[in-house]
């Protein structure tokens, strides 16, 4: 498994500057494409699964976090408050309190539940500089977050649906969990709420794990302060585990914020909050993708998807026309002509690009192109329109595999 930091440099994805500070990477154009594509993917996935997206500010008054319990239980990981005109503002350490207030924006009926609120939003963690590294531990985190507000009897189904969504995303991304962890409170930790509520929440998560048919290990002392959680663990290059996706059950914050809905009998009831993240932080997700795939990201995530390589200058015009055709079909395309060296050198330079299209010679004369795959296999000569539509179809399907069926390609 490669290290994501060296790949990030090799592929020009992200960088850091001492003047910005440790744990605050910036995204270069190629990295921004990967990030944007990943964010669009997860938004689409969530929309299809019945989530509604919101935006909320990265700052809030200190009182918000006193009410949510973060100030009492999580303050060591928060940035100090900023005094602004007699008020204290803090950078948010999570999105949950904002979403609880969005739930409270209007009176809610049982008919609206489960209400699934999602946001790709920034949050901040005051990590010490010694533990920061690459994209795994950062101080400004872009989180793929969502909160499902539901009736108590809907919690198990929502937790299971969240696990299914995570599984679906991992298949598209070619990610493999190292294990599922059921994170429970440990001795001496700071936890909110009584033991009965914790036992009940943990039982709901166990039910969801059993229903999803995945094995898990219980870990004491890894829970959030407001509830137990399922952590999906991935391994990094050095075999160190970290958490990417999470599903948490929370009876505590709905109570702290006085959340209610009107039941079928007209009486007020308290909803439960299921916190869930499919990709975790975008930073960590990209780090894992690089460590899983090396430079060969799934084609739909690759910064450049098609390299157009005219054999000689006389093929540059047709190559440009073919490139436009690819771009119109939504493919990210780059042309590399003879000014960048021999055809062999250009194919080597494009070795991380999933599809390499050579234009020239006999094929060009009858409107065909020669298609090679990143792994060295050759699809061979295809009519231009067919080459474009088949590449575009594979990208649109977000398939991790480069091409199929296997028998259509020959090994170099
Ligand atoms: Zn949350």
Q: What is the pLDDT of residues 315-326, one digit of tens each?
A: 999 999 999 999
Mean pLDDT of the chain: 92
Residue 379 has pLDDT above 80, yes or no: yes
Q: What is the pLDDT of residues 149-203, one digit of tens each?
A: 999 999 999 999 999 999 999 999 999 888 999 988 887 777 777 788 888 888 9
How do beta strands 87-91 and 59-61 pair?
A: antiparallel
Residue 2 has pLDDT above 70, yes or no: yes
Instruction: Give residue 303 CA to ligand 1 midpoint distance, Å.
Output: 31
Q: What is the pLDDT of residues 100-114, one digit of tens each?
A: 999 999 999 999 999
Report residue 405's pLDDT band, with 50, 70 and 90 as the boundaries: low
Instruction: Give residue 128 CA to ligand 1 midpoint distance, Å.
Output: 23
Instruction: Give residue 52 CA to ligand 1 midpoint distance, Å.
Output: 15
The percentage of residues in the chain with a pLDDT greater than 70, rounded to a whole number, is 97
Instruction: Give residue 253 CA to ligand 1 midpoint distance, Å.
Output: 9
- Best CA proximity match to 274, nearest among 169, 364, 154: 154
Which own/partner pairs from 190-198 qualify as long-range (CB within 8 Å, at least 24 positions apart)? 190/72, 190/73, 190/225, 191/73, 191/223, 191/225, 191/226, 192/69, 192/73, 192/225, 192/226, 192/252, 193/226, 193/227, 193/251, 193/252, 197/251, 197/252, 198/223, 198/227, 198/228
Instruction: Give residue 72 CA to ligand 1 midpoint distance, Å.
Output: 16
Contacts of 203 (CB under 8 A, 6+ apart): none
Contacts of 395 (CB under 8 A, 6+ apart): 299, 300, 305, 330, 331
Instruction: Give residue 85 CA to ligand 1 midpoint distance, Å.
Output: 29
Record the tokens describing residue 276, joined without a space: 């869930």
Domains and CATH numbers, the chain: 4-293 (3.30.930.10), 299-408 (3.40.50.800)
Which region among 41-45, 304-308, 376-380 has the lowest average model confidence (pLDDT)? 376-380
Q: For Cα atoms 20, 24, 26, give the angle at the middle one, nearest 5 degrees.
A: 85
Instruction: Give residue 379 CA to ligand 1 midpoint distance, Å.
Output: 47
Q: What is the pLDDT of residues 213-257, one digit of tens each?
A: 888 999 888 888 888 999 999 987 678 888 999 999 999 999 999
Per-residue b or e along 365-378, where b marks 16 or more CB atoms closer than 10 Å to that residue's CB: eeebbbbbbbeebb
pTM over 0.95: no
Instruction: Give residue 69 CA to ligand 1 midpoint distance, Å.
Output: 12
Instruction: Give residue 125 CA to ligand 1 midpoint distance, Å.
Output: 14
- Give pLDDT, residue 409: 62
- Give pLDDT, residue 406: 59
Instruction: Give residue 19 CA to ligand 1 midpoint distance, Å.
Output: 32
- Give pLDDT, residue 212: 85
- pLDDT average, residue stretch 378-388: 94
Q: For Cα atoms 72, 73, 78, give the angle at the middle one, nearest 5 degrees.
A: 90
Instruction: Give residue 177 CA to ligand 1 midpoint distance, Å.
Output: 21
Residue 408 has pLDDT above 90, yes or no: no
- pLDDT average, residue stretch 40-44: 97
- Give pLDDT, residue 364: 74
Q: What is the pLDDT of residues 113-149, one digit of tens each?
A: 999 999 999 999 998 877 777 898 899 999 999 999 9
- pLDDT average, residue stretch 77-88: 95
Round to whole Å and give the CA distance between 340 and 322: 19
Under 8 Å between Cβ of 175 and 288: yes
Instruction: Give residue 257 CA to ligand 1 midpoint distance, Å.
Output: 13
- Give pLDDT, residue 180: 94
Residue 141's φ and ψ, nearest 5 degrees, are -115, 130
- pLDDT average, residue stretch 30-40: 97
Round to whole Å and give the CA distance between 350 and 344: 10
Q: What is the pLDDT of residues 257-283, one digit of tens each?
A: 999 999 999 999 999 999 999 999 999
Record the tokens describing residue 21, joined without a space: 């500070």
- Give pLDDT, residue 325: 96
Report residue 345's pLDDT band, with 50, 70 and 90 as the boundaries: very high
């Amino acid at each position: 498994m490669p290290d994501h930091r060296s790949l990030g440099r090799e592929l020009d994805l992200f960088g850091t500057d001492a003047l910005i500070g440790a744990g605050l990477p910036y995204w270069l154009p190629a990295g921004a494409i990967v990030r944007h594509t990943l964010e669009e993917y997860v938004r689409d996935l969530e929309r299809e699964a019945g989530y509604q997206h919101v935006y909320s500010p990265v700052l809030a008054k200190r009182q918000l976090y006193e009410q949510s319990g973060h100030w009492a239980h999580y303050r060591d990981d928060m940035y100090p408050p900023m005094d602004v005109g007699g008020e204290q503002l803090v950078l948010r350490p999570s999105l949950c309190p904002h979403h609880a207030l969005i739930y409270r924006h209007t009176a809610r009926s049982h008919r609206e539940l489960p209400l699934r609120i999602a946001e790709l939003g920034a949050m901040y963690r005051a990590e010490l500089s010694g533990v920061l590294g690459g994209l795994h531990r950062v101080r400004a985190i872009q989180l793929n977050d969502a909160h499902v507000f539901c009736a108590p009897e809907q919690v198990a189904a929502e937790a299971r649906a969240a696990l299914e969504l995570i599984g679906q995303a991992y298949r598209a991304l070619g990610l493999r969990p190292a294990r599922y962890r059921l994170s429970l409170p440990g001795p001496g930790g700071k936890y909110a709420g009584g033991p009965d509520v914790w036992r009940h929440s943990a039982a709901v998560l166990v039910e969801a794990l059993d229903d999803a048919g995945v094995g898990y290990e219980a870990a004491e002392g890894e829970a959030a302060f407001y509830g137990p959680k399922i952590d999906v663990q991935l391994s990094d290059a050095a075999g160190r585990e970290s958490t990417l996706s999470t599903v948490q059950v929370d009876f505590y914050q709905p109570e702290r914020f006085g959340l209610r809905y009107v039941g079928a009998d007209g009486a007020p009831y308290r909803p439960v909050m299921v916190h869930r993240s499919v990709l975790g932080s975008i930073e960590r997700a990209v780090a894992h993708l690089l460590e899983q795939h090396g430079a060969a990201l799934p084609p739909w995530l690759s910064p450049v998807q098609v390299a157009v390589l005219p054999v000689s200058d006389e093929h540059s015009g047709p190559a440009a026309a073919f490139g436009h055709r690819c771009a119109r079909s939504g493919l990210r395309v780059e042309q590399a002509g003879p000014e960048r060296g021999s055809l062999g050198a250009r194919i080597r330079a494009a070795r991380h690009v999933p599809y390499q299209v050579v234009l020239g010679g006999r094929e060009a004369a009858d409107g065909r192109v020669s298609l090679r795959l990143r792994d060295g296999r050759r699809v061979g000569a295809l009519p231009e329109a067919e080459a474009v539509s088949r590449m575009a179809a594979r990208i649109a399907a977000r398939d991790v595999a480069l091409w199929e069926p296997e028998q259509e390609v020959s090994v170099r």
